[in-house]
Amino acid sequence: MNQIVLSIIAYAVQRDIDAAKLCQLAGINLTALKKNNAPPVTQQQLDALWLHATQLSGDPLFGLHFAASVQPAALGVVGQIIQTSATVGEALTHAAALTHHVTDQCRLEIARNSKNFTVRFIPARGNVNEPTASFRNLVELLMVITIHEVSGLMLEKIVPLTVRLPYHVRDMAAYEQIFRCRPTKRAGEYALVFDARYWDEPILTANYELQNMLLKKVAAITQQQPSKTVNNLQTRVYNYLVANSYLGIISLEEMAANFNLSPRSLQRKLKDEGVKYQEIADAVRKSLALYYISSGSYPLKDISYMLGYNELSAFTRAFRRWTGSSPLQYQSL
């Protein structure tokens, strides 16, 4: 997130805003922020940064215009992994699995069928239909990056079939220009829908060796700092399961022990956040299943076993519940 904050400040400077004044108003120590080991910017600081950047620029759509200008470097190592992916589908699959390295405010989910694929941005908490200005700017930023940056890595301009937001936008013409599609309002959903033909489009900057090195780097960071920048328990649990997926999806009792809690305490704390452990485990299974199948490196029977299913039929039923299609049908798309 600090890399994105630096990019917001840099963009503000290009808009003739004094960086020192903006950071002072937002309560951000710019000198400290530039250091590699800088503590993460707090949610309060980020909220203030968006607010004062909007006020000082005199641009009510400052966040949207910033989103249109963002470079992959703003996403740090995650942006590099996206750039080195072989295809659009692989890039989005990695992005969905690694979003927590960019923000703990939301996660990505991808659903595919024979005609299109949908990228959904799922808030970790809060009222989806009445988001804070900060969260709205963040999700719109991630949505615009998905469109523009992937498009910039191939020989074709990606245009979404549909853009869904849970609110009415203030300036439809500006949103339509930047999203390349007229947004529609749908309660409870942030989503981009693309034609299925984009999924297998090759990426010009693909580099398997570099990507493999970057993925190992991300795995090491995740294992060393599993929860330093994460506030809510459900995100910490989700990230732990993803980072330790080679161990399989562990039980509630094992997860509770990792967080020095009793199973009952873990259940209660997750319930307070409006989620059950099984729901988080299922979300991780779904994300991993989509990744393993899309990679083309694993037989379905092995994937079923890695995700903790004793029978392929049980995995098939779960996969159909998640995506509306069987693993075999998804694999053949």
Q: What is the pLDDT of residue 230?
A: 43
Digit-coded pLDDT (tens) for 103-133 = 878 888 888 888 999 999 988 776 677 788 8
Residues in the chain: 333
pLDDT average, residue stretch 205-222: 73
Q: What is the pLDDT of residue 220?
A: 60
Q: What is the pLDDT of residue 219?
A: 66
pLDDT average, residue stretch 63-72: 83
CA distances from 193 to 156, 220, 256 (A): 17, 33, 37
> Model-level pTM?
0.65
Confidence band, pLDDT 50/70/90 cuts, at residue 301 = confident
215 vs 85: CA distance, rounded Å: 11
% pLDDT > 70, the chain: 89
Average pLDDT, the chain: 83
State the CB neighbour count (10 A cutoff) for residue 225: 12
- Helix, strand or coil for residue 54? helix
Confidence band, pLDDT 50/70/90 cuts, at residue 226 = very low
C-alpha 307, offset from chain centre: 21
CA distances from 166 to 99, 190, 277 (A): 21, 6, 27
pLDDT average, residue stretch 295-299: 73
pLDDT average, residue stretch 208-230: 62
Helix orientation angle between 263-272 and 233-243, rounded to the nearest 10 degrees: 120
State the CB neighbour count (10 A cutoff) for residue 275: 18
Q: Note the maximum CA span of the chain.
A: 61
Q: Which residue has the higher pLDDT, 45 or 219?
A: 45
